[in-house]
């Protein structure tokens, strides 16, 4: 009996001890951290002083539950609270905003040896006289997964990594940021590059439905229907919309005999051929006659720089990666995807597809290195915070391509935000769209944008709200000095026309 009592006492003591143990403290959800500085920029001889913030704010969901530390850089002209505000981001998905930030929008820019390789450090960083900061305040956005942005609380990466998830989180950030800086009643703009333009088309509708109407949207190197970039089996549109950029590339590299008086005039001829001869030939499929096929192959050859034999072997269908590899194969070179003015060493002359993108190889390192130096030393970001430039640096990155506007009968019918942009314009006929296209961009072909715009079913008056501008450069047209100057002029005019 005594042993039983001792056992009971031992159990009781242990139970009391367990009960007295402290409960684990609830982990505090971080609130974000902002680093401030004063930056200056001189534009048209006028020096502008800018109050600058960089860092993260706590992003909340629709029920005010914290879901992310959301990263940004904010430039605000002092003593002018009612200026327009531009929210800008790059694409990917997902890349951080340093490309636009340090290429054309911010107060500083890195100097690139366009269209060649830039030598290693030290890189030249200069005052950006082509910045938009004389016209508007600027917020450079880094979506969750890049920059300093990351999930917090119960949120997970997949809550942000997808077409609709991405639109929602950036929309939440913009709305909450406008409240934070008292800018709800100021002219507002979106500016996105590449996938950022695809995002813009959905985001403008999302924000509009929440009562945040944009004065304008600026699309840099746009794409709205991603399926047209994929060269899927049986999808002849992808071949059709890339061909004018093949022709522009051949024009630049002197692979076209009859160039005419200008690139624009030449491309008008290419457009006419594409619509009136090439498209009908593709539409016929295997019902095309051999004679017609040979005739089309010769015309494709004359305009693209590839041999008629190559076009015939390809069944009149050449993918962009095949074109990169084939155009300058005899010269042991390959051309750029993002900017086909760039050339690089062909690593395998027998390969069907290009291995690398010379433009990416040429400019990525100077952009990343120079921007990080500016971020940590000029903008005062804490040096023990890691700035992620791309989700390629994240483990298990996976993007959800489903988009509610593309679901028909529970099937993903497309990868497109074009219906969103069309709907936003029809519901807000004051909305203006500026689209900036690089002729030598083989990542988001200019003719693909034209195709999409021509299939929005807009009445002629509403279609005038879409302004198209063209540059003799590639995807990041602002690395080309004359195009950078034109970029500044085109965007300034758009902001002036839409902010009053």
pLDDT in tens, 105-141: 999 999 999 999 999 999 999 999 999 999 999 999 9
What average pLDDT does range 337-349 have in this prediction? 96
User: How far is it, in rounded angstroms, from Cα 123 to Cα 445?
Assistant: 31
Name the token pair of 95: 């890349």
pLDDT, position 412: 85
Alpha carbon separation from 263 to 240, 267, 306, 450 (Å, rounded): 19, 6, 18, 17
pLDDT, position 410: 83
* DSSP single-letter state for residue 124: P
pLDDT, position 98: 97
Q: Examine the pLDDT at 492 and tell me if it is beyond 90.
A: yes
* Residue with the larger pLDDT of the pair 18 and 352: 352
pLDDT, position 10: 55
pLDDT, position 355: 86
Q: Examine the pLDDT at 320 and tell me if it is beyond 80.
A: yes
Question: Residue 334: enclosing H or E segment and its boundaries?
Answer: strand 333-335
User: How far is it, in rounded angstroms, from Cα 448 to Cα 228?
Assistant: 7
Q: E strands along 5-65, which residues?
A: 34-43, 46-60
Confidence of residue 316 (pLDDT cuts 50, 70, 90): very high
Contacts 24+ apart (CB under 8 A), 487-493: 487/104, 487/130, 487/436, 488/104, 488/130, 488/131, 488/132, 490/434, 490/436, 491/132, 491/135, 491/218, 491/434, 492/132, 492/135
Sign of the Cα torsion 298, 303, 306, 310 reads negative
User: How far is it, in rounded angstroms, from Cα 399 to Cα 405?
Assistant: 17
Summarize pLDDT for 375-417 with one digit per residue, the tens.
Answer: 999 999 999 999 999 999 998 899 999 999 898 888 888 899 9
pLDDT, position 259: 86
Summarize pLDDT for 422-470 with one digit per residue, the tens.
Answer: 999 999 999 999 999 999 999 999 999 999 999 999 999 999 999 999 9
What average pLDDT does range 466-478 have in this prediction? 98
Per the prediction, the chain carries an average pLDDT of 94
User: How far is it, in rounded angstroms, from Cα 377 to Cα 301?
Assistant: 52
The position carrying tokens 């030393």 is 377
Summarize pLDDT for 192-251 with one digit per residue, the tens.
Answer: 999 999 999 999 999 999 999 999 999 999 999 999 999 988 889 999 999 999 999 999
Give the chain's length.
500
* Residue with the larger pLDDT of the pair 18 and 193: 193
Q: Examine the pLDDT at 9 and tell me if it is beyond 80.
A: no
- All structural domains of the chain, each given as residue ranges with its CATH number in brackets, are 34-227+365-498 (3.40.50.1820), 230-357 (no CATH)
pLDDT, position 27: 76
What average pLDDT does range 318-325 have in this prediction? 96
Phi-psi region of 260 (alpha: psi -120 to 50; beta: other; left: phi over 0): left
* DSSP single-letter state for residue 267: H
How many C-beta atoms lie closer than 10 Å to residue 280's C-beta?
12
What's the distance, Cα to Cα, between the start and end of the chain in Å? Answer: 93
pLDDT, position 258: 86
Summarize pLDDT for 40-82 with one digit per residue, the tens.
Answer: 999 999 999 999 999 999 999 999 999 999 999 999 998 888 9
Q: Examine the pLDDT at 19 and tell me if it is beyond 60.
A: no
Q: Examine the pLDDT at 6 and tell me if it is beyond 70.
A: no
Summarize pLDDT for 76-86 with one digit per residue, the tens.
Answer: 998 888 999 99
Summarize pLDDT for 132-175 with one digit per residue, the tens.
Answer: 999 999 999 999 999 999 999 999 999 999 999 999 999 999 99
pLDDT, position 43: 98
pLDDT, position 78: 87
Report cis status (omega within 30 of 0) of the bond before 44: no
User: How far is it, in rounded angstroms, from Cα 212 to Cα 188?
Assistant: 9
**Count of CA atoms in the C-beta half-sphere (13 A) of 481:** 6
């Amino acid at each position: 009996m005594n042993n039983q009592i001792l056992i009971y006492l031992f159990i009781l003591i242990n139970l009391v001890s367990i009960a007295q143990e402290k409960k684990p403290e609830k982990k505090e959800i971080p609130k974000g951290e902002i680093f401030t500085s004063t930056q200056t920029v001189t534009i048209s001889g006028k020096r502008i002083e800018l109050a600058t913030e960089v860092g993260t704010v706590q992003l909340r969901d629709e029920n005010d539950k914290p879901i992310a530390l959301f990263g940004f850089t904010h430039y605000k002209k002092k003593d002018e609270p009612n200026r327009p505000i531009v929210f800008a981001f790059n694409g990917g998905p997902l890349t951080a905003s340093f490309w636009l930030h340090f290429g054309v929008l911010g107060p500083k820019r890195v100097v690139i040896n366009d269209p060649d390789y830039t030598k290693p450090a030290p890189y030249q960083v200069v005052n950006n006289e082509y910045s938009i900061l004389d016209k508007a305040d600027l917020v450079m956005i880094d979506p969750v997964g890049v920059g300093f942005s990351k999930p917090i609380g119960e949120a997970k990466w997949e809550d942000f990594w997808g077409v609709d998830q991405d639109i929602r989180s950036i929309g939440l950030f913009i709305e909450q940021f406008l409240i934070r800086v008292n800018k709800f009643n100021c002219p507002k703009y979106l500016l996105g590059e590449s996938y950022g333009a695809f995002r813009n088309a959905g985001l403008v509708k999302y924000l509009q439905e929440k009562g945040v109407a944009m004065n304008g949207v600026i699309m840099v190197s746009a794409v709205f229907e991603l399926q047209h970039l994929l060269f899927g089996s049986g999808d002849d549109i992808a071949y059709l919309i890339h061909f004018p950029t093949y022709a522009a590339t051949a024009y630049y590299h002197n692979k076209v005999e009859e160039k005419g008086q200008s690139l624009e005039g030449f491309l008008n001829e290419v457009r006419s051929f594409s619509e009136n001869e090439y498209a009908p030939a593709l539409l016929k499929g295997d019902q095309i006659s051999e004679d017609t096929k040979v005739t089309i192959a010769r015309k494709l050859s004359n305009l693209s720089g590839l041999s008629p034999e190559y076009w015939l072997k390809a069944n009149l269908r050449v993918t962009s990666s095949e074109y990169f590899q084939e155009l300058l194969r005899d010269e042991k070179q390959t051309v750029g995807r993002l900017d086909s003015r760039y050339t690089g060493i062909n690593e395998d002359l027998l390969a069907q597809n290009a291995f690398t993108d010379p433009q990416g190889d040429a400019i990525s390192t100077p952009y990343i290195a120079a921007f990080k130096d500016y971020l940590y030393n000029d903008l005062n970001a804490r040096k023990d915070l890691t700035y992620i430039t791309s989700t390629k640096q994240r483990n298990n990155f996976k993007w959800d391509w489903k988009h509610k506007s593309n679901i028909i009968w529970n099937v993903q019918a497309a990868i497109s935000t074009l219906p969103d942009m069309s709907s936003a314009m029809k519901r807000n006929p004051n909305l203006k769209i500026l689209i900036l296209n690089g002729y030598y961009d083989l990542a988001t072909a200019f003719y693909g944008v034209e195709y999409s715009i021509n299939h929005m079913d807009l009445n002629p008056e509403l279609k005038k709200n879409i302004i198209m501008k063209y540059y003799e450069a590639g995807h990041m047209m602002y690395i080309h000095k004359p195009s950078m100057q034109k970029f500044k002029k085109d965007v300034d005019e758009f902001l002036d026309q839409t902010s009053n």
